[in-house]
Amino acid sequence: MMMNATCKDRERIFEDGTPGEWAALEAHSANCPVCAEELKAWKSLSVAAQEMRDYTDSPSFWPRIERALAEEAVRKTQRAERRSWLSFLPSVPLSWQTAVAGAFVLVLTISAGWIYVHWPNRPEQHDKSLLKSAALENVEHAEAVYVQAIDRLAEETRPQLENPATPLLANYHEKLVVLDSAIADLRAQAGLNPSNAQLRHQLLAVYQEKQQTLEEVLEARKQ
Amino acid sequence: MGTMGLALPWKARIASVPRQRETRVEPSEHYAGGPKPTIVDAITEDAALAAGCRAGNLQTYERLYSIHGARMRNLARNLLGNLGDAEDAVQETFLKVQRSIASFRGQSSFVTWTYRILINTCYDARRSRLRKKEVANDDSGETPRLEPRAPGAHPSLRMALERALATLTKHQRDVFLLYEVEGFRHAEIAGMLEITETASKNTLFQAKKNLRLILEPPRSSAAEAR
Ligand SMILES: [Zn+2]
């Protein structure tokens, strides 16, 4: 059944009328010039609003947004990597941390041994000033030899790590990626400040950890 | 009787506008019968867009753009007054979506959330533009400066409306643009502006009443009661 509307209902219907009420107002307007004019004027605003709609395509706009999104994604990844490196020690499992700490001690011994070998004329120089500026050259040489050895080891394990057959190998692979990024970071810092013994110790500790990990990969391969 | 209507420069041409718009204009909130399948589709689409963007899928962002890019650009242009600033705001919105999608908890629809970001971004841009103007000692006001655009069917009609819109309150302008220009429903607008549906309806009503006052010459005090 058709409902009725009067002039008094008009504003309320304009604000929140149901379709039935709008139909009733239209019907009322057929015989009420005032409401007819009001209705027309009210609708004309909506019609005018269409003039403010311009949906023409801009072919260069999406590529521009896409580029910005891609750049932001790269920045996001870099930030995440930096964070993961900064939180490297706390985030690695306790067993790794223990291994790193142990390696730290071991590396001191190894370094001392190497320097002893490469520096036979000064066997008595086994004091704790190994990493002072006078010994820096020797440490760097020892480090280079050590790195070469590790690289050879890494070469041997590469096939297993690139296509890890087991979750264990995949874990090793991930761990090595983290260690390599730590090495790169420490090397950069050590490059800026070559005589910083603390940095050297840390670097050697991470190398040692890498060596052990690579050895574990080789072990896992045999099993 | 004929003297009671809007004396707009474009009044004579209005009659030629298609009816199709009128069917949406006022009672669009009320659907006869059960839920429309299109609404279900929209919800599914919305969830898919949110999931894809969350996963960092660039193709999903492209889909978001293909569905909403033109509307976002148009809205930003109407809020900011020129295409350059509008495009910057839309790009910034996409970046903000990318940066903060992890914090989107689905309190509103994803698209509603995206438009909320866009609207806020536009107002931030307006504020910073205003600050720059203040610094430059330029007191040309905060209303968007309107740059010429592709001529529509009734350029004078659009310009008259743009000028009138600039005199409305922020909320009235937002609701008018979202409802009448961009075609959103009050429920959607409520989500974008964080107001109630009733407030959205009321704000639109006030906006249109004000626009009529601005665009209409003073009326004779002819009796209206019947
Ligand atoms: Zn009437």
**CB of A61 less than 8 A from some CB of B:** yes
Q: Which residue of B has its CA nearest to A77?
A: B56
> Does a structural domain hold residue B2?
no
Residues B15 and B110 in one domain: yes
CATH code, B181? 1.10.10.10
Last residue of a domain, one of B93, B124, B142: B142
Last residue of a domain, one of B81, B116, B142: B142
Could you tell me if A51 lies within 8 Å of chain B, comparing CB atoms?
A: yes
Q: Which of B22, B74, B98 lies at the smallest CB-CB distance from A53?
A: B74
| Domain match, B23 and B69 both | yes
Instruction: Kindly state whether residues B125 and B14 are assigned to the same domain.
Output: yes
In this structure, are residues B88 and B125 in contact, taking their beta carbons and an 8 Å threshold? yes
Of all residues in chain B, the one with the smallest CA distance to A21 is B27
* Residues B59, B87 within the same domain: yes
CB of B62 closer than 8 Å to CB of A66: yes
Range of the domain at B77: 9-142
| A64 in B contact zone (CB under 8 Å) | yes
CB nearest to B158's CB, from A16, A33, A51: A51
Please list the helix, strand and coil fractions of chain B in percent, rounded to the nearest 5, in that order.
65, 0, 35
In the prediction, which pLDDT does B18 show?
A: 31
- Find chain A residues with C-beta within 8 A of B6's C-beta: 40-41, 44
In this prediction, residue B178 carries a pLDDT of: 98
CB contact under 8 A, B65 and A65: yes
pLDDT of chain B along its 226 residues, tens only? 333 334 443 333 333 223 333 334 343 344 444 455 577 888 889 999 999 999 999 999 999 999 999 999 999 999 999 999 999 999 999 999 999 999 998 888 999 999 999 999 999 999 998 888 777 765 444 555 556 555 565 667 788 899 999 999 999 999 999 999 999 999 999 999 999 999 999 999 999 999 999 988 655 544 444 4
Residues of chain A with pLDDT under 70: 1-2, 84-142, 167, 192-195, 221-223
Final residue of a domain: which of B118, B142, B166?
B142
CB A49 within 8 A of CB B180: yes
B121 shares its domain with B169: no
Q: Is residue B31 part of a domain?
A: yes
Domain count, chain B: 2
Contact criterion met (CB below 8 Å) for A89 and A100: yes
Following DSSP, what letter does each residue of chain A receive, concatenated?
------GGGHHHHHHH--HHHHHHHHHHHTT-HHHHHHHHHHHHHHHHHGGG------TTHHHHHHHHHHHHHHHHHHHHHHHHHHTHHHHS-HHHHHHHHHHHHHHHHHHHHHHHHH-TT-TT--STTTTSGGGHHHHHHHHHHHHHHHHHHHHHHHHHHHS-SSHHHHHHHHHHHHHHHHHHHHHHHHHHSTT-HHHHHHHHHHHHHHHHHHHHHHHHHH-
Partner B contacted by A68 (CB < 8 A)? yes
> DSSP 3-state assignment of B19?
helix
Q: Flag whether B215 is in a domain.
A: yes
pLDDT in tens, A26-75: 999 999 999 999 999 999 999 999 999 999 988 999 999 999 999 998 88
Is B181 among the domain residues? yes
When CB atoms are compared, the residue of A16, A50, A51 closest to B201 is A16
Q: Do B4 and A34 touch (CB under 8 A)?
A: yes
Nearest to B94 among A7, A49, A65 (CB): A65
The string over A103-126, giving b where at least 16 C-beta atoms fall within 10 Å of a residue's C-beta and e elsewhere, is bbebbbebbeebbeeeeeeeeeee
CA distance B146 to B163: 9
One domain, residues B22 and B95: yes
If asked whether residues B99 and B174 sit together in one domain, one would say: no
d(CA A58, CA A12): 41
Residue B51 sits in a domain whose CATH number is 1.10.1740.10
Residues B189, B127 share a domain: no
Q: Are residues B119 and B156 in the same domain?
A: no
Rounded to the nearest angstrom, the minimum Cα separation between A4 and chain B is 15
B21 and B123 co-located in one domain: yes
Task: Specify whether B127 is located in the same domain as B154.
Answer: no
For an interface test with A, which of B13, B22, B26 has the most A Cβ atoms less than 10 Å from its Cβ? B26
Chain A residue with Cα closest to B60 = A66
Domain assignment present for B201: yes
Same domain, B157 and B174: yes
B203: nearest CA partner in chain A: A15
